Chains A and B, each alone.
Chain A
Amino acid sequence: MDRLNPYLRKLPVWAVYLAGALPPMVWLWMGATGRLGVEPISALEHKLGEAALQLLILGLAVTPLRRHLGLNLMKFRRAIGVLAFFYLSMHLLVWLLLDVQIPQQIWADIVKRPYITVGMAGFLLLLPPALTSNNFSVRRLGPRWRSVHRLVYVGVVLGGLHYLMLAKGFQIEPLIYLTIIGVLLLLRLQVQRKRQPGLPEPRNSLKQV
């Protein structure tokens, strides 16, 4: 990690934004030109949703990666979060405009289909952190900024649940995502408990997952 960190320090943040913004454009082009299989709408929707979840998880992993493995991605954390929200917004737009298409059905789906209700709630919870991912908001909100950004913890859990609920049968991938999310959140919980003196030594939460 000590060898990797100097390179990461030199990597400009704008390069991460650029590299992160490219795949959805490429996928859109692939879908429009028949390179995403015979059902490009679902393929695009699923690719965007899965990448959004992966980026949210990566954002959640930044602190544990630094603390436990010494890998420092702190400089890119905002970019990772903003990109995750960008993918999520694209995922939502593809669902609205290309998949459902019918405006009356959109609202019906949101209130009637639990997996869509959960996904939509996740999106709404991630909206405030996304809108306050700038230096102005950090200054303006002060200590409240941290509270606003704790919404990400709930948002990412809802994202994982959304994936689990839409899968047919007993599928393995959503469970893997939810397990990783659980481990990352427990690591955070552990650290917070350690910081508070007087509390009993935290149990090894990892083993319980």
Chain B
Amino acid sequence: AGTGLAVAAGSLSAETLEPNSWEEITTYNNFYEFGTGKEDPAKYAHQMKTDPWSVKIDGLVDNPGEYSFQDILSEMTVEERIYRFRCVEAWSMIVPWNGFELGDLLAMAGVQEGAKYAAFETLLRPSEMPGTAYRTIDWPYREGLRLDEALHPLTIMATGIYGKPIPNQNGAPLRLVVPWKYGFKSIKSIVRITLTDKEPPTSWSTLIPGEYGFYSNVNPKVDHPRWSQASERRIGGGLFSKRQPTLMFNGYENEVASLYEGMDLAQNY
């Protein structure tokens, strides 16, 4: 952990990103498999067994199969990335992730010519996930990225926070982190990655298509129908915390805006 890349990725503006505390990052979570309350994941996620763990990589790849978490880790270079994290609910944090680039993992599996999208799936094990007793969403949780988004150097698979193994409530043992998209795109506790040629269905956009789209890029100018996205509240400011303006692509505009050139971002929300 801890290479110079963290600096290159995190601080393009003069702003230095001051990470949130371990307590803030690990006690205020959305992980509906453990309940819809923010404190539910920290309370119940310890029931989830993360060892052994394997990720099935299939679809348009050269080497499909079950990859054990240990084998993946031994092949990857883990480094620290300090990213802004912006939830669609208009709160945000700064998280010092440890992880590797998703592109490296996909290269290991061998991306085939026709692949255009990557689909992801979270573990579904009802006996260890009390929240799945209710059909809050259509389990298992699913997410997806366009292949160029998946291969972008900012896109990582996080395996740690603050140099420690990532806690269950934050998506152990490995989760996606796409810092320029709303947090729900950064799917947790991944058990399957499928490369496809069609846009894969994603949980929130299937459940409420009028509110959540496939892209879900952080965009202060495109409001969620039920709340404004123009500003956000940084966790940790206490009872009198001031709102702050939300940045286009969550502050990663220079790095990722080119991915969406010519696209109407209000249409492709």
A198 to chain B, nearest CB (A): 45
Q: Check: A31 CB closer than 8 A to any chain B CB.
A: yes
Q: Is B226 touching A113 in the complex (CB atoms < 8 A)?
A: yes
Please give me the residue from chain A that is nearest to B136 by CB atom.
A169
Among B91, B134, B226, B243, which residue has its beta carbon within 8 angstroms of that of A166? Answer: B226
Q: Is B241 touching A168 in the complex (CB atoms < 8 A)?
A: no
A48 to chain B, nearest CB (A): 13
Please give, as numbers and ranges, the residues of chain B lying within 8 Å of A101 by CB-CB distance: 242-243
Q: Is B134 touching A44 in the complex (CB atoms < 8 A)?
A: no
Q: Which of A35-43, A58-66, A140-148, A181-189 contacts B (4 or more CB under 8 A)?
A: A35-43
The main secondary structure of chain A at its interface with chain B is helix
Q: Check: B207 CB closer than 8 A to any chain A CB.
A: yes
Within 8 A of A (CB), among B100-142: 134-137
Q: Check: B199 CB closer than 8 A to any chain A CB.
A: no
Please give, as numbers and ranges, the residues of chain A lying within 8 Å of B32 by CB-CB distance: 169
Please give me the residue from chain B that is nearest to A34 by CB atom.
B238
Please give, as numbers and ranges, the residues of chain B lying within 8 Å of A40 by CB-CB distance: 238-239
Q: Is A37 touching B27 in the complex (CB atoms < 8 A)?
A: yes
Please give me the residue from chain B that is nearest to A169 by CB atom.
B136
Please give me the residue from chain A that is nearest to B184 by CB atom.
A168
Given A41-B241, A101-B242, are A171 and B28 neighbors across the interface (CB < 8 Å)?
A: no
Q: Check: B209 CB closer than 8 A to any chain A CB.
A: no
Given A102-B243, A113-B226, are A39 and B235 neighbors across the interface (CB < 8 Å)?
A: yes
Q: Check: B36 CB closer than 8 A to any chain A CB.
A: yes
B252 to chain A, nearest CB (A): 24
Q: Is A37 touching B243 in the complex (CB atoms < 8 A)?
A: no
Given A31-B239, A102-B231, A170-B137, are A39 and B36 neighbors across the interface (CB < 8 Å)?
A: no
B170 to chain A, nearest CB (A): 14
Cα-based distance from A101 to B136 in the complex (angstroms): 31
Please give, as numbers and ranges, the residues of chain A lying within 8 Å of B197 by CB-CB distance: none
Q: Check: A167 CB closer than 8 A to any chain B CB.
A: yes
Among B226, B240, B241, which residue has its beta carbon within 8 angstroms of that of A115? Answer: B226
Q: Check: A21 CB closer than 8 A to any chain B CB.
A: no
Q: Is A108 touching B228 in the complex (CB atoms < 8 A)?
A: yes
Please give me the residue from chain B that is nearest to A101 by CB atom.
B243
Within 8 A of B (CB), among A132-150: none
Q: Is A39 touching B207 in the complex (CB atoms < 8 A)?
A: no
Given A38-B235, A102-B231, A115-B226, are A168 and B36 neighbors across the interface (CB < 8 Å)?
A: yes
Please give me the residue from chain B that is nearest to A100 by CB atom.
B243
B152 to chain A, nearest CB (A): 27
Q: Is B136 touching A32 in the complex (CB atoms < 8 A)?
A: no
Cα-based distance from A113 to B91 in the complex (angstroms): 18
A26 to chain B, nearest CB (A): 14
Please give me the residue from chain B that is nearest to A32 by CB atom.
B239
Cα-based distance from A37 to B37 in the complex (angstroms): 12
